[in-house]
């Protein structure tokens, strides 16, 4: 089942998407959305297609991965064995696209700003919604995203470069291998936020309070 | 898939088994086993068939559940949704009976003191080992057991009635429903340890340090 190698790297990028397009209207919004429903509604209407960093402060943001049911045990086990990069917020069973526990009323097929479709490890498409790609055997995994603790970092006086610049956070593929599970394996992918040395301890204190969205840094230096 | 209802209740009892038999030699051992390998070896040789409460202090003890692969996603999801009663210590994929991460060299088919075999929700047998029942499609789930924190409770000056009496801990089926997942549902089962009122706070402090083996009490009163 080698073709699926690399799916993890994909999943990290799926829900928060890549840098916004130039046609993006979100940057021109006078008041950025603060409520999750409001944010999802903008995305669903196609009015926001940029990464969601900085929006809906105080609410959990997640990455999104859809896996066919026959591989879903392997991926769930991959998450269980790698709780730091893959902390599960909710798993929606095949046949539904509504995460009733954490975001009732939402639709996972339309409410993320951008999706990447992979088939057998190959990128097939990058689209704004996946209604046409939806299969009834897809299991949805909502994995805690570090965007969640950014509001707390800012409140603690730590400025975030990518938020100031309106870009996506920097991401790096590390040399640390995740613990494999069935068809899934791959290196750990991390986000990187430059923090002034005198504020590093405070940043560790703040992020360590959020273990379900990756928590404290894997590496400082 | 209603026939599987109740599997959770079974799993809680599987690895730590029920009250020891009268032919049990463990009670006459001059020195109770303190090392996990030693304890497992006694069990494997059939020289110990009682619950393992009080043995190998300081080491994690687990409950054991074996589930056919086609139901293993549902059960893994059940554990993910119910981390308090079902904290996963290790999952061994189909085709192996050795938990290489937590107990390398052990054999899950022979190293628990007693097993209950259920088929379609019906108790079919209670045996000392399951070599004859083993199927290559069985996935093994090691779920943290509260026996783990008993040594810490005793060190904190809290006597445990069932350890003093050499019996199994009391267990109760509560009116609290676990969060269902696929084929699995059922009420929360708890262990109960009577603790003098003036030591309850200390007992909560001690047990809350062990979230991966159920942690602090669900109910006090």
d(CA B150, CA A151): 41
Helix (H) or strand (E) holding B81: helix B69-81
Could you tell me which residues are beta bridge partners of residue A88?
A: A143
d(CA B120, CA B13): 17
Q: Kindly report, residue by residue over B141-185, the tens digit of the pLDDT.
A: 999 999 999 999 999 999 999 988 888 899 999 999 999 999 999
d(CA A84, CA A96): 26
Q: Is the pTM of this model over 0.90?
A: no
d(CA B9, CA A177): 37
Measured in degrees and rounded to the nearest 5, phi and psi for residue B37 equal: -60, -40
Higher pLDDT, A1 or B201: B201
Give the chain A residue whose CA is nearest to the CA of B95: A182
- Whether the predicted pLDDT of B94 surpasses 80: yes
Q: What confidence score (pLDDT) does residue B14 get?
A: 33
Interchain proximity B77–A76, CB inside 8 Å: yes
How close B81 gets to chain A, by Cα (Å)?
A: 8
Higher pLDDT, B20 or A152: A152
Question: Using a CB-CB distance cutoff of 8 angstroms, which residues of chain A are in contact with residue B69?
Answer: 73
Average pLDDT, chain B: 86
Q: What confidence score (pLDDT) does residue A121 get?
A: 86
**B10 band by pLDDT with thresholds 50, 70 and 90:** very low
How close B86 gets to chain A, by Cα (Å)?
A: 13
Q: What confidence score (pLDDT) does residue B18 get?
A: 32
Q: What confidence score (pLDDT) does residue A15 get?
A: 34
Question: Using a CB-CB distance cutoff of 8 angstroms, which residues of chain A are in contact with residue B73?
Answer: 69, 72-73, 76, 139
Both tokens assigned to B74: 């549902």
d(CA A158, CA B200): 41
pLDDT (average), residues B111-140? 94
**B30 band by pLDDT with thresholds 50, 70 and 90:** low
Task: Give the SS3 label for residue A206.
Answer: helix
ipTM of the complex: 0.80
Q: Kindly report, residue by residue over A198-215, the tens digit of the pLDDT.
A: 999 999 999 999 999 999
pLDDT (average), residues B45-56? 87
Show Cβ contacts of residue B118 under 8 Å, excluding neighbours closer than 6 positions.
B7, B10, B124
Task: Give the SS3 label for residue B162.
Answer: helix
Give the chain B residue whose CA is nearest to the CA of A139: B73
Helix (H) or strand (E) holding B126: strand B122-127
Q: What confidence score (pLDDT) does residue B205 get?
A: 95
Question: Using a CB-CB distance cutoff of 8 angstroms, which residues of chain B are in contact with residue A93?
Answer: 77, 181-182
- Asked if the C-beta of A69 comes within 8 angstroms of chain B's C-beta atoms, the answer is yes
Would strands B62-68 and A122-127 be described as parallel, antiparallel, or unpaired? Answer: unpaired
pLDDT (average), residues B51-70? 92
d(CA B66, CA A146): 35
Interchain proximity A69–B73, CB inside 8 Å: yes
Both tokens assigned to A157: 């006086």
The residues of chain A scoring below 50 in pLDDT are 1-27
Best CA proximity match to A173, nearest among A185, A194, A190? A190
Cα atoms in the 13 Å half-sphere on the side-chain side of A43: 31
How close B73 gets to chain A, by Cα (Å)?
A: 5
Residue written as tokens 């073709």?
A3
């Amino acid at each position: 089942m080698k073709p699926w190698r690399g799916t993890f790297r994909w999943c990290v990028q799926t829900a928060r998407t890549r840098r916004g397009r130039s046609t993006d209207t979100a940057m021109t919004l006078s008041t950025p959305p603060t409520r999750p429903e409001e944010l999802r509604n903008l995305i669903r209407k196609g009015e926001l297609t940029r990464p969601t960093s900085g929006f809906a402060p105080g609410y959990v943001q997640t990455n999104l991965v859809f896996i066919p049911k026959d591989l879903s045990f392997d991926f769930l086990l991959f998450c269980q064995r790698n709780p730091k990069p893959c902390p599960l917020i909710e798993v929606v069973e095949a046949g539904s696209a509504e995460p009733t526990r954490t975001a009732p009323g939402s639709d996972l097929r339309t409410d993320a700003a951008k999706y990447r479709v992979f088939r057998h490890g190959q990128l097939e498409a990058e689209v704004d919604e996946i209604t046409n790609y939806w299969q009834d055997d897809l299991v949805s995994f909502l994995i805690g995203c570090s965007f969640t603790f950014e509001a707390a970092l800012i409140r603690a006086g730590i400025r975030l470069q990518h938020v100031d610049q309106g870009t996506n956070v920097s991401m790096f593929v590390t040399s640390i291998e995740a613990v494999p599970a069935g068809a899934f394996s791959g290196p750990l992918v991390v986000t990187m936020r430059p923090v002034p040395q005198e504020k590093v301890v405070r940043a560790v204190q703040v992020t360590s309070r959020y273990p379900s969205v990756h928590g404290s840094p894997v590496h400082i230096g």
